[in-house]
Amino acid sequence: MTTDQKHASTDRELTGSEILLRCLIEENVEFIFGYPGGAVLPIYDSLYYGSIKHILYRHEQGAIHAADGYARATGKPGVVIATSGPGATNLVTGIATAQMDSIPLVCITGNVPQQLIGTDAFQEADITGITMPITKHNYLVQDVRDLPRVVKEAFHIASTGRPGPVLIDIPKDVSNAKAPFSYPETVSIRGYQPTTNPHPLQIEKLHQAIAESKRPLILAGGGVVTSGSDQELIAFAERAQIPVTTTLMGLGGFPGTHPLWLGMPGMHGTVAANRALLECDLLIGIGARFDDRVTMGRIDKFATGAKIVHIDIDPAEIGKNVDTYIPIVGDVKRVLEVALQDLPVCQSETWLEKLEQLKQQYPLTYKQSDNTLKPQWVIQHLYETTGGDAIVTTDVGQHQMWVAQYFRFSRPRSLISSGGLGTMGFGFPAAIGAQLAYPDRTVISVTGDGGFQMTAQELAVVALANIPVKVAIINNQCLGMVRQWQEVFYQRRYSEVDLSGSPDFVKLAEAYGVKGMRARTQEEARQVWREALDHPGPVVIDFQVDPEENVYPMVAPGAGLDEMMLGDE
């Protein structure tokens, strides 16, 4: 690894912690999400005089999910700091969450002085070893003179190619050591040169396949959102007349109200999207990794009659889960820009008519009730009252799927959800990070009564700083998705899913100084949600919903997309 030109510098020697802060300023870092401790005391002492805003969380997991939410909302790396030992290991779930969804993070951990490493010193943990499989790259800084180069490289690696988390572990003696400061302007890393431009021959093959296809389909994933190629995707689909289905991570990458949109595919996908996957003759995967929530792991039943085109910036994804007829490695935005030149039109009129009939015949639906509040209705109400323009974060489970089904996202980076790892406790702190990035937008944390209790302590953060996140708890008094599986696949043997002993969420919010409200009917829900939108600060709403409501459509584990369960709605 080499550095080239250098710009910001000083003749005065700085400590490692001062150098770190100068580097973060050079990277235009707005917020640091973190929690102090013994091994990072020098860094926090430097922060005392610094200009970067530090947000003090109540748990390191909340801090890293907030950094993640900030990164997903802005596309810029989120920065989190934690101390050695348990502080560092408390970041692990957040790092894995970001790694699975290709989110750029720079995670800074302190460590014991180098002479104590390997001695089982107090609060010592091998965090670089622990996180090696779940980071894009990590560093143990052993010389303070390396720190500027390491930080420069970390931001470069985290945010280029396929983004991901990078960890920098700084022993306390490195933070205290002194060196002249000089920040590199550019960075060149041997062996790390992501391919962004597609091979022209592969684009020609793509054009030929499109011209010959009568039943084409685009499967758009999170890569569309990451690359900022939503407008190119719209132009590509409209010009070639190809219908689009978007994965969970791809929602917002194509407008949810567009006539060519079929909905989300896979386990809880729409009938139209799954039938299109089964019957298409050309499947163009764009920034999607063909994971098991889409294919159900049944490749023998997935798009069996289709030629598969796979567009992705990460060559390791090509051919990993499905056999690929035309591999195209490159940045999705750049690939679509090139592919739009001389793009042929498909012979897809009959195909589009058939899919439109399926959309009309099998819409997403549920039974209304005069006695209970339906969770699907709550999500629809949130969508209708915000014009689909809000940033929505979720945890994982039933509420996550209802958001994916009933909130029609119209722009990218509007849905912030743990797609790959499926992390409970993610949504609320992620909403705080997104709200800090966009203080003037409505940010809604849709969460379950289970997931909210995993990071509810971060109510202190929104209360103290008056961060106006609106928390919508879809409270069914149980672990809903686990209960649903136990109902459907384990003959109603409900084992350890009852959360009826949870606290009064209104009183819990009020204990932190946050406005709390509750709704049990549609009338109450309309009233309290309007109050929430009008309230200038944070709000927690306890939407008490039908505890036996299930998510449909559904494909059972081990089944193919041709075996959808539609429920009794």
Q: Which residues are catalytic?
A: 60, 122-123, 172, 481
**Residues 70 and 433 sit within 8 Å (Cβ to Cβ):** yes
Q: What are phi and psi of 106, to 5 degrees?
A: -115, 110
**DSSP-assigned beta bridge partners for residue 498:** 478
Q: Which residues neighbour 422 within 8 Å (Cβ) at sequence distance 6 or greater? A: 396
Please identify which residue in the block is written with the tokens 């009933």.
406
**Residues 303 and 277 sit within 8 Å (Cβ to Cβ):** yes
**Residues 406 and 377 sit within 8 Å (Cβ to Cβ):** no
Return the number of other C-beta atoms located less than 10 Å from residue 150's C-beta.
Answer: 18
Tokens of residue 391, six digits: 């940033």
Q: How far is CA 559 from the centre of its chain?
A: 27
Among 85, 84, 109, smallest CA distance to 95 is for 109
Three-state secondary structure readout of 397-441: CHHHHHHHHHCCCCCCCCEECCCCCCCCCCHHHHHHHHHHHCCCC
Tokens of residue 440, six digits: 């003037």
Please identify which residue in the block is written with the tokens 């195209």.
328
Q: Measured between alpha carbons, how far is 455 from 467 in angstroms, rounded to an integer? A: 16
- DSSP conformation letters of 375-401: HHHHHHHHHHHHTT-SEEEE-SSHHHH
